[in-house]
Amino acid sequence: MSAAGGSVPVIRFERQGTVGVLTLNRPESLNSLSLQAVKDLLQQIRAVGRDAAVRSLLITGAGRGFCAGWQLEASGVPGLPDESLGVRQAHLMAEHFNPVIQELHDLPIPTVAAINGVCAGAGVSIALAADIAIAADEASFVLTFAPRLGLVPDLGATWKLPRLLGWARAQAITMLGEPIRAEDATRWGMIWRNVPLAELQAMALSVARRLAGAPPGVCREVRHAYHAAQVSTLPDQLDYERLRQRVLLDSPAFGEGLRAFQEKREPDFFARTD
């Protein structure tokens, strides 16, 4: 991926077996998102979605932070001469930022976020877009949009946070901009769990490997089912479940799972398709 000076990638990607590891790699700025970093992140997520050899994705940050959010500077950001900052940024969000969240939501493989330190602004949205979020005990989450900048959270944060934290907590942390400790984020249901920093990467990789062995596409099915439930009535959701089961019960994955159950063995969802 692109980098200043053409040497160090701002988004680093490597494979560890069937797990893809995507690292935000601007540690000198706590992995803040330059325009190039956002473009590279979007490109890499799309590439992962097309790579059949990658069965789960782990997202983390280099150095002391996960992601400090959007790099707050206008220099180097393309725009028309008479274009306001707001108009310019709205274009960038539509073309680059929002697609990052949508691509994560639509990935056919499961995703894990290993939040190793400071997670702010757009970084919070990226972390919460993962299927499973695990944070180091030292990590914190902060949204300073409103009290420091006069803005509202974006990249789906206003959709996610009330559903994860409840209305009262979501409004308070947004209006006050107070950091959320990893321990509280776990207790409030914002993330799955927090662990000592020294254990974070190993645990996140272990979780990603477990997910890599899941039936192909099932994590996306779960993700989309819970998303649909947020905007559906109970009768509509019951019908959604009925229609998805109609398809999934006829899938090779269910057939393998049923055979494994009958034969008293662990299922192998890839042996018959690789």
**At 160, which CATH number?**
3.90.226.10
Residue 1 has pLDDT above 60, yes or no: no
Residue 87 has pLDDT above 70, yes or no: yes
CA distances (Å), origin 11, targets 43, 59, 61: 10, 10, 9
In this structure, the answer to whether residues 98 and 226 fall within a common structural domain is no
- DSSP state, residue 215: P
Mean pLDDT within 164-168: 95
What integer pLDDT is reported at residue 81 of this predicted model?
73
Residue 20 has pLDDT above 70, yes or no: yes
CA–CA separation, 17 and 267 (whole Å): 19
| 63: exposed, middle or buried (Cβ count in 10 Å: 0-12, 13-18, 19+) | middle
Mean pLDDT within 172-191: 96
In this structure, the answer to whether residues 166 and 230 fall within a common structural domain is no
pLDDT > 70 fraction of the chain, expressed in percent and rounded: 93
Name the pTM for this structure: 0.91
pLDDT > 90 fraction of the chain, expressed in percent and rounded: 86
Residue 273 resides in a domain = no
In this structure, the answer to whether residues 128 and 42 fall within a common structural domain is yes
Sign of CA dihedral 29, 193, 144, 159: positive
Residue 272 resides in a domain = no
Helices (H), the chain: 35-50, 85-92, 98-106, 122-129, 157-165, 167-176, 182-187, 197-212, 218-230, 234-248, 252-262
Residue 271 resides in a domain = no
Residue 3 has pLDDT above 80, yes or no: no
Mean pLDDT within 133-155: 95
Residue 148 has pLDDT above 50, yes or no: yes
Of 44, 31, 40, nearest to 6 by C-alpha is: 40
Sign of CA dihedral 74, 75, 79, 83: positive
Mean pLDDT within 245-256: 95
Confidence of residue 50 (pLDDT cuts 50, 70, 90): very high
Mean residue pLDDT of the chain comes to 92
Tokens of 242: 């009925």
CA–CA separation, 166 and 160 (whole Å): 10
In this structure, the answer to whether residues 62 and 183 fall within a common structural domain is yes
In this structure, the answer to whether residues 58 and 180 fall within a common structural domain is yes
β-sheet bridge partners, residue 61: 24
What integer pLDDT is reported at residue 6 of this predicted model?
55
Residue 126 resides in a domain = yes
| 129: exposed, middle or buried (Cβ count in 10 Å: 0-12, 13-18, 19+) | buried
- What is the distance, to the nearest Å, from the Cα of residue 130 to the centroid of all Cα atoms in its chain? 3
Mean pLDDT within 15-33: 96
In this structure, the answer to whether residues 16 and 61 fall within a common structural domain is yes
Mean pLDDT within 204-223: 95
Task: State the chain's maximal CA–CA distance in angstroms.
Answer: 69
Mean pLDDT within 67-90: 77
What integer pLDDT is reported at residue 75 of this predicted model?
53
Residue 268 resides in a domain = no
Residue 267 resides in a domain = no
Domain that holds residue 250: 218-262
CA–CA separation, 12 and 22 (whole Å): 6
In this structure, the answer to whether residues 128 and 17 fall within a common structural domain is yes
CA–CA separation, 142 and 67 (whole Å): 11
In this structure, the answer to whether residues 239 and 107 fall within a common structural domain is no
CA distances (Å), origin 204, targets 130, 158, 164, 256: 12, 26, 21, 27
What integer pLDDT is reported at residue 4 of this predicted model?
45
What integer pLDDT is reported at residue 83 of this predicted model?
82
CA–CA separation, 241 and 239 (whole Å): 5
In this structure, the answer to whether residues 148 and 243 fall within a common structural domain is no
Task: Give residue for tokens 């269910």.
Answer: 254
**Count of domains observed in the chain:** 2
Residue 76 has pLDDT above 60, yes or no: no
Mean pLDDT within 2-8: 58
In this structure, the answer to whether residues 156 and 21 fall within a common structural domain is yes
Residue 94 has pLDDT above 80, yes or no: yes
What integer pLDDT is reported at residue 142 of this predicted model?
96
Confidence of residue 85 (pLDDT cuts 50, 70, 90): confident
